[in-house]
Structure 1
Amino acid sequence: MKKYHSIVIGAGQSGMPLAKKISAKGFSVALIEKRALGGTCINDGCSPTKTMVASAKVAHMVSRASEFGVEVKGFRVNQKAVRDRKNRIVELFRGGATKGLQKAENLDIIMGEGVFQADKTLLVKRAGQEDLVLQAEKYFINTGSAPNIPPIEGLGECPYLDSTSIMELEETPEHLIVLGGGYIGLEFGQMFSRFGSKVTIMDMAPRLVPKEDEDVCQEISDIFAEEKINTIFNVDVKKAGFQNGYFTLHYQGKKGAATISGSHLLVATGRKPSSEHLGLEAAGVKLGDKGHILVDDNFETNVPGIYALGDVAGSPPFTHMAYHDAHIAFNRIFEENLSLSAQDRLVPYCVFTDPQLARIGWNEQQAKERGIPYKTGKFWMKHAGRALETDETKGFFKVLVDPKNKQIIGATTLSKDGGEIMAVLQMAMVGKVPYDQIQHLPIAHPTLAESLNNLMGQVETNTE
């Protein structure tokens, strides 16, 4: 048995920085990873998907080349080359993460699956090697989440794709059915439509992005319709089958029972916390109803000395929030800085459709539900100089402000580079910059950001 000060289970976007920070304090650390360093973000999530989104954007722009006065005789998408480019980027990022960990002192990287034993020791199962038994004063669990596959009759016998396996395709699907209209489904749906697939997105919700405002939904729906992406809502899939190279889904829709067939099926029905197979029952660690590990403000579980961070602990399911969890946890636990907290923190996010959908703070439907008074402003990209110059005029900026103190309480950016603009508004919120000050700022021309002047000039009293 080998003893460490800290054991970190999972080399994701909480686990890696936390392990390095603890080791830099002079404490011995073991970092346990059963699959690949970097977690979902580097290997299956952010890096590979956005790399493929970039390829799809190039295909889309080439198809529009004549609109810019550029004559292109013809082109084709080489799906294998798209995949290979994605793999090179993943290997680059993973290699950088690995080198950073290897440089850290007092840090052992152990590839294997960690399972808690009843005496709060950790058994590490290693493929083709002898198991290890480890102990530590503190354990940090960062095992993330995994695709959630719904219990649909026959689905388990079908060779369906999930958000990882779809990126390994060497051929462009003839007809891709996307089961699930969430952020993952939207990104892959638009991506493969631009690669040349017929795409149908199906969801049990009544509309796209139901957590966003109705006008956001309508604009995205219009964009997808223009790109000939089919959408079917209020769907209850009853049965799935695969025969002669085609998938068939039997579902109940608005007009009753119906079927749909396609060459490929992507199941993008959300994710679930990876809290199984860790032996948490043996350690006495409590879980929530949906499988998340329950933690307090220090990310500590009900068992002293065992902590959990990121998706598995129920934090907002975004890479940057997992990274922020590690920052907060380290400061609270090792620096005794209790001023940092995950409570009431701003949660930014960006969906990499084209245009990008990004949000920070409240939207209108949330403000109305909570009785929060607000004024709102909205500025359409079709009136933005930079958007017109690049011919990327879909979408709009939208802001909510407090009518009393003029502070921004929320913003949605559905636009070219929407995530970058959202970050500017996030900093304004943190810095408590009143909206009317932004309205009169001399922002460089011609940039997309200068449209924030116009956006703030549109703020009016909400009369609904």
Structure 2
Amino acid sequence: MKEKKYPFVVIGAGAGGLVVAIGLAKAKKKVLLIEKAHYGGDCTNFGCIPSKSLIAAAEYAHNIKLSSQMGITLENTQFNADLALERVRNIVASVKAHEDEEALKKLHVDALTGTASFIDPHTLRVIDKENTEWKIKSKNIIIATGSSPYVPPIDGLKDTPYLTNETVFHLKKIPKRMIVLGGGPIGTELTQAFNRLGAEVFLVHKNKKLLARESEKAGKILEETFQKEGIKLFLDFQTQRVSFSNEVFQIEINNGDRIETIEAEALLVSAGRHANLNDLHLENANIYAHEKGIEVDKYGRTSQKHIFAIGDIAGPPFFTHLAENRARSVLTTLLLPGPLKKKIDLKQVVPRVTYTDPEIASAGLLEEDAIQKYGSNKIATYTVPFEEVDRAVTQNCQDGFITIVTKKWSSKILGVSIVGPRAGEMIGEILLAIRENIPLRKLISLIHPYPTYLQAIRKAADMWLTKTIFKNVTKQR
């Protein structure tokens, strides 16, 4: 067994782990980064980068079909969807080149490819890719091992060659028919992308609406869009069993009233994610964890104060941007003396974006959540449909809206929901307002460029002015 000692060890080279390891190296600290298999983590290899690359190709294909609406006639247009998959793999490879062992070496980060587990609170056992055993000792250990796809215990499923987001981008061809189990962000994004690239897609979802965490209105708009694009939706259906024979999947689904059987050549399981806890042997280090992840304090520390946990391993929500944010806080804590250590803002509003068309972004409280928390008489909502936004009209993208939820009299912003093009970019202004406690009324004086989608925010602020100030002035007269 080989032995090494480092002042800092990071387990996991995903978004959070890379931020900490590279940050420590830039501060001239000696750091070892241990990665099981895929440098760059889920986002680079199986998540954000490949999925958004595929979505971009699908959007081009879809826009070609709609070109006649813009007065453009295209003849003999050819689209090779299989090349789109090859493009995805090429993009992943180009991004990985900035995060692999060679790139890390140039940044003065020592890297070791292997599986790490705890022997005791200060010692790790690592089996590297050559099956060599290492004993690594460290004063400070940062766990950033991420999460993996959750595969539900459906009868027969485990015995079939189903796909997850970790394997779907290995496909060399677009399947003719595809079944997607799960109508969350991953499921809806890939359903629409594969449908637009030529597959006949059947989406099975256990809830009555798509995207359970989003508003009823947002879910309904997406449902209607999917139906218009020819996607076969089975909402409020449970999957009873799965079989695979002669290169064909067969699933049986049930909604309580009827049983349906669907056949397809590909099956994608997108039923959520779970933290990667199993290989770590946390019990050897007396680290407390629950089924959702490792419990951490306001500094990102586990029950062992020299061991930190960041990203998906610390529990949901599972977002790259949240992992990077928490990683920067932990990095500050590791580098600065006691009084300057940075606390993690556990109450900070975390945005979420689903990259369907239309795009869906939200943060904070939805209207129904705000009513439940404060009561309907103490909140106000301001909704601007995109058909009233000139930029949306010029681009034929009127099927969308922004809803801002506020305290009734102060106009303090409690949450926002946006459906439409560039929703993920638009939400940034509202996030800053929530964080800095800037009420909606103060956004009236902000000059929003015209014509942009940001005009929707200005219109929402104008609605507050009309409903609150002008209404009261009229009453006084």
Other structure's SS at 2:326 match: helix
Q: Is the counterpart of residue 458 in structure 1 residue 463 in structure 2?
A: yes
State the match for 1:297 in structure 2.
298
Residue segments in structure 1 that go unaligned for 5+ positions in a row: none
Selected match of 2:404 from 399, 412, 419 = 399
Q: Aligned ranges for residues 127-146 of structure 1 at < 5 Å?
A: 127-146=129-148
Other structure's SS at 2:451 match: coil
Alpha-carbon distance in structure 1 between the residues aligned to 2:89 and 2:404: 38
Alpha-carbon distance in structure 2 between the residues aligned to 1:231 and 1:38: 34
Selected match of 1:94 from 96, 107, 120 = 96
Q: Deviations over 1:124-150 (max 9, x none)?
A: 111225222110001111010001111
Q: Deviations over 1:341-386 (max 9, x none)?
A: 2321110111100111001211112112222532111111122111
Q: TM-score with structure 2 length normalisation?
A: 0.92
CA contact under 8 A between 1:177 and 1:200: conserved in structure 2?
yes
Residue segments in structure 2 that go unaligned for 5+ positions in a row: 469-477
State the match for 2:61 in structure 1.
59
State the match for 1:374 in structure 2.
379
Alpha-carbon distance in structure 1 between the residues aligned to 2:409 and 2:460: 18
User: Which range moved further: 15-24 or 255-264?
Assistant: 255-264
Other structure's SS at 1:172 match: coil
1:268/1:427 CA distance change after superposition, 3 Å: same
Q: Deviations over 1:171-191 (max 9, x none)?
A: 222221110111100000111
Q: Is the counterpart of residue 344 in structure 1 residue 344 in structure 2?
A: no
Q: Deviations over 1:43-87 (max 9, x none)?
A: 111111101110000000011111111111243442331122112
CA contact under 8 A between 2:215 and 2:417: conserved in structure 1?
no
1:340/1:305 CA distance change after superposition, 3 Å: closer
Q: Is the counterpart of residue 306 in structure 1 residue 311 in structure 2?
A: no
The alpha carbon displacement at 1:458 in A equals 3.1
Which amino acid in 1 is paired with 2:426? I
Alignment length (residue pairs)? 459
User: Which range moved further: 258-267 or 435-444?
Assistant: 435-444
1:423/1:100 CA distance change after superposition, 3 Å: farther
CA contact under 8 A between 1:377 and 1:457: conserved in structure 2?
no
Alpha-carbon distance in structure 2 between the residues aligned to 1:94 and 1:271: 23
CA contact under 8 A between 1:3 and 1:134: conserved in structure 2?
yes
Alpha-carbon distance in structure 2 between the residues aligned to 1:74 and 1:364: 48
Q: Is the counterpart of residue 236 in structure 1 residue 241 in structure 2?
A: no
CA contact under 8 A between 1:158 and 1:241: conserved in structure 2?
yes
The alpha carbon displacement at 1:440 in A equals 4.4
1:146/1:127 CA distance change after superposition, 3 Å: same
CA contact under 8 A between 2:81 and 2:198: conserved in structure 1?
no
The alpha carbon displacement at 1:258 in A equals 2.7
CA contact under 8 A between 1:13 and 1:38: conserved in structure 2?
yes
Alpha-carbon distance in structure 1 between the residues aligned to 2:253 and 2:68: 41
State the match for 1:411 in structure 2.
416
State the match for 1:2 in structure 2.
4
Q: Deviations over 1:60-115 (max 9, x none)?
A: 0011111111111243442331122112211221112346533333x311111112
RMSD of equivalent CA atoms: 1.8
Alpha-carbon distance in structure 2 between the residues aligned to 1:311 and 1:140: 13
Selected match of 1:356 from 359, 362, 370 = 359
Alpha-carbon distance in structure 1 between the residues aligned to 2:199 and 2:343: 47
1:282/1:445 CA distance change after superposition, 3 Å: same
Alpha-carbon distance in structure 2 between the residues aligned to 1:297 and 1:178: 38
CA contact under 8 A between 2:45 and 2:92: conserved in structure 1?
yes
CA contact under 8 A between 1:331 and 1:340: conserved in structure 2?
no
Other structure's SS at 2:97 match: helix
Aligned identity (percent) is 29
CA contact under 8 A between 2:299 and 2:343: conserved in structure 1?
no
CA contact under 8 A between 1:79 and 1:169: conserved in structure 2?
no
Other structure's SS at 1:109 match: strand
Alpha-carbon distance in structure 2 between the residues aligned to 1:196 and 1:421: 31
Alpha-carbon distance in structure 2 between the residues aligned to 1:443 and 1:120: 53
Alpha-carbon distance in structure 1 between the residues aligned to 2:29 and 2:439: 45
Other structure's SS at 1:23 match: helix
State the match for 2:394 in structure 1.
389
